[in-house]
């Protein structure tokens, strides 16, 4: 895990020192497998944008999945660009993509690209959480209450415990963002570099003559 | 009335032998599974010989995890040929596999290594159970998937590429899985094939002839599983040769007494 242990430094400096053109991105993703429209409707709402503004975000990108399309575009039709309800936040969104990597890169702390460390708000999907950890991004993980299997909640709790992010629930995402803002100055718990147990197991099973 | 009694007697006569056969079969299966888990692998494989690795890409998060795992652990100088198995109705996994292999080729070119031809294959097999499929038809589609797995493991699935000439056996040497239902089918198919090979070698009197062991299976439980095993994990406890888990709470579990335990391997996907 060496190459991608979170580098969250640099964002600790006072906000006033950063030029206003710095981008701070909030990335919301619901994944591909299950619909999670409640998360989308919570995000596409005036108080959420107010909170983003208050915590210094400049942009919002939403991956809304197959079912979130109407909610997302409905809100934007009601509040076109420049509307006070958007609080000056730049909004973009799409349904699905095979490769989320570029969007995670946009939320990273890269001064050369005028980027400040952003935030990922996501469903409790393995792929998304792993990617966020790899990029050292703080996150708010919201388990989908509609899924019968509660191992997603286990995972979200673990993320919270290891300080990779905050476990959020529908209805308290605004508080979770505040908590995540405090988290960004903390070093997350990194598991020590372990032996490559997979490779060892694979070689064992092949049973070479030594 | 008399005919009814004789029918009952007939049924009784039938039930006892069938029950005996069923129990015997069950005992044989359990014994074979315990035997297989406790057998030591004979060391006949020489280093540098080509190795055929079969990778099952489940879907969604399973595929992502598997690609991360391969990124971290795959040593292409050992595992010289890779077969990826994906399920129908899952276009992302095949793309991800191809992307991963393209990356490997690029890496080889930058390292100025000999330009190898594409040494991989991606095979699409039918799904065991589609999302929202009825449980009544699921057994049939599962059997269909199992049959497909058997064909893949014998190198006889339609459109499957021929292995390079260096490979002496059509069977893959090692199978790694982490995914849902399809991985259960694949591991089960490997077990069935191995049982078949074992019996046929025994019958033909070749059981003492040295032979490299193939069709070994490794199951990696999903990183998202922290306190409980997945359904496929539970099913594979007695079947997979190695069972790796990524969180300490899941280590040390086993199907029943005398069987291998799950091993904690740390985070294998990061």
Q: What's the CATH code of the domain at B208?
A: 3.40.50.2000
Verify that B128 and B211 share a domain, yes or no. yes
Residue B213 resides in a domain = yes
Q: Which of B42, B46, B47, B266 to mutate to test the interface with A (most CBs of A within 10 A)?
A: B266
B205 and B97: one domain? yes
Helix (H) or strand (E) holding B54: strand B52-56
Answer yes or no: do B55 and B34 share one domain: no
CB contact under 8 A, A197 and B65: no
Does residue B269 fall inside a structural domain?
no
pLDDT at B28 over 70: yes
Domain check: are B228 and B114 in the same one?
Answer: yes
Query: Are both B118 and B240 inside the same structural domain?
Result: yes
Measure in Å the smallest separation between the Cα of A106 and chain B Cα atoms: 20
| Cα(B66)–Cα(B220) distance, integer angstroms | 9
Are the CB atoms for B128 and B181 separated by under 8 Å? yes
**Alpha-carbon distance values, A73 to A40, A41, A86, B184 (Å):** 11, 11, 13, 41
CB-nearest to B267 from A125, A191, A209 is A191
Q: Residue B116 corresponds to which tokens in the numbers above?
A: 């190898």
Which residues of chain A from 42 to 81 reach within 8 Å of chain B, CB to CB?
none
Residue ranges per domain, chain A?
A: 21-206
CA B38 to chain centre: 18
- Alpha-carbon gap: A46 to the closest alpha carbon of chain B (Å): 32
Q: Which residue of A has its CA nearest to B220?
A: A198
Minimum-distance CB partner of B95 among A98, A152, A197: A98
Same domain, B7 and B138: no
CA A151 to chain B, closest CA, distance in angstroms equals 6
Contact yes or no for B270 and A32 at CB 8 A: no
Structure tokens at B18: 């069938």
Instruction: Give me chain B's average pLDDT, please.
Output: 89
- Domain presence at residue B88: yes
Which of A159, A167, A202 to probe the B interface (max B CBs under 10 A)? A202
Rounded CA gap, B51 and A207, in Å? 12
Show residues of chain A in contact with B89, CB under 8 Å.
none
Shortest alpha-carbon distance between residue B238 and chain A (Å):
16
The 10s digit of each residue's pLDDT in A59-112 is 999 999 888 899 999 999 999 888 888 999 999 999 988 778 899 999 988 888
Cβ atoms of residues B263 and B243 within 8 Å:
yes
Report pTM. 0.84
What secondary structure letter does DSSP report for B56?
E
Q: Is A122 on the interface with B (CB under 8 A)?
A: no
* pLDDT, position A5: 41
CB A57 within 8 A of CB A23: no
Total number of domains in chain B: 2
Report which listed range, A49-63, A86-100, B117-131, is most confident. Answer: A49-63
Whether B12 and B59 share a structural domain: no
Domain A21-206 classification at class level: alpha beta
Tens-digit pLDDT profile for residues B226-244: 999 998 999 999 999 999 9
User: Cα A125–A127–A130 angle (5° rounding)?
Assistant: 105
My answer on whether B195 and B254 are in the same domain is yes
User: Which is nearest to B168 in space by CA: B50, B48, B46, B43?
Assistant: B50
User: Is B33 found in the same domain as B90?
Assistant: no
B44/A33 CB distance under 8 A: no
| ipTM of the shown complex | 0.86
Asked if residue B70 belongs to a domain, the reply is yes
State phi, psi for A86 to the nearest 5 degrees: -85, -15
Are residue B77 and residue B96 in the same domain, yes or no?
yes
Which chain A residues are within 8 Å of B48, Cβ to Cβ? none
Give the residue on A whose Cα is nearest the Cα of B231.
Answer: A149
CB-CB contact of B53 with B172 (8 Å): yes
Range of the domain at B80: 45-264
Average confidence (pLDDT) over B119-126? 92
The whole-angstrom separation of Cα B63 and Cα B59 is: 5
Co-location of B7 and B86 in the same domain: no
| B16 and B107 assigned to the same domain | no
């Amino acid at each position: 895990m060496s190459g991608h242990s979170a580098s969250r430094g640099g964002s600790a400096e006072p906000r006033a020192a950063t030029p206003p053109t710095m981008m701070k991105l909030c990335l919301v993703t619901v994944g591909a497998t299950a619909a999670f429209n409640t998360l989308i409707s919570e995000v596409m709402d005036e108080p959420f944008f107010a909170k983003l503004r208050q915590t210094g975000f400049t942009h919002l990108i939403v991956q809304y999945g197959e079912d979130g399309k109407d909610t997302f575009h409905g809100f934007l039709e009601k509040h076109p660009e420049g509307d006070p309800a958007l609080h000056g936040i730049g909004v973009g969104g799409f349904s699905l993509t095979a490769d989320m990597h570029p969007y995670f890169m946009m939320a990273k702390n890269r001064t050369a690209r005028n980027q400040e460390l952003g935030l990922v708000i996501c469903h409790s999907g393995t792929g998304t959480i792993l990617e966020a950890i790899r990029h050292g991004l703080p996150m708010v993980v919201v388990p989908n209450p509609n899924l019968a299997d509660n191992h997603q909640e286990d995972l979200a709790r673990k993320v919270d415990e290891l300080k990779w992010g905050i476990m959020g629930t529908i209805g308290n995402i605004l508080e979770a963002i505040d908590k995540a803002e405090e988290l960004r100055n903390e070093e997350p718990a990194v598991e020590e570099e372990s032996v490559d147990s997979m490779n060892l197991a694979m070689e064992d099973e092949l049973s070479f003559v030594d | 009335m008399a005919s009814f009694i004789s029918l009952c007697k007939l049924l009784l006569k039938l039930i006892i032998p069938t029950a005996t056969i069923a129990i015997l079969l069950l005992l044989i299966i359990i014994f074979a599974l315990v035997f297989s888990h406790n057998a030591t692998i004979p060391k006949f494989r020489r280093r540098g010989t080509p190795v055929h690795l079969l990778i099952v890409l489940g879907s969604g998060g399973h595929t992502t995890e598997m690609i991360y795992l391969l990124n971290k652990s795959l040593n292409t100088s050992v595992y010289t040929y890779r077969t990826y198995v994906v399920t129908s109705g899952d276009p992302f996994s095949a793309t991800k596999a191809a992307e991963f292999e393209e990356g490997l080729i690029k890496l080889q070119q930058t390292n100025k290594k000999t330009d190898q031809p594409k040494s991989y294959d991606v095979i699409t097999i039918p799904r065991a159970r589609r999302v929202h499929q009825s449980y009544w038809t699921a057994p049939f589609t599962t059997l269909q998937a199992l049959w497909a797995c058997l064909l893949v493991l014998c190198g006889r699935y339609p459109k499957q590429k021929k292995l390079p000439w260096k490979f002496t056996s059509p069977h893959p040497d090692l199978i790694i899985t982490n995914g849902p239902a399809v991985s259960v089918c694949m591991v089960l198919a490997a077990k069935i094939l191995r049982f078949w090979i074992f019996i046929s070698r025994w019958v033909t009197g070749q059981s003492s002839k040295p032979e490299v062991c193939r069709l070994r299976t490794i199951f990696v439980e999903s990183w998202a599983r922290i306190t409980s095993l997945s359904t496929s994990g539970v099913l594979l406890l007695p079947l997979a040769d190695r069972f790796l888990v990524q969180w300490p709470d899941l280590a040390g579990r086993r199907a029943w007494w005398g069987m291998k335990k799950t091993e904690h391997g740390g985070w294998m996907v990061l």
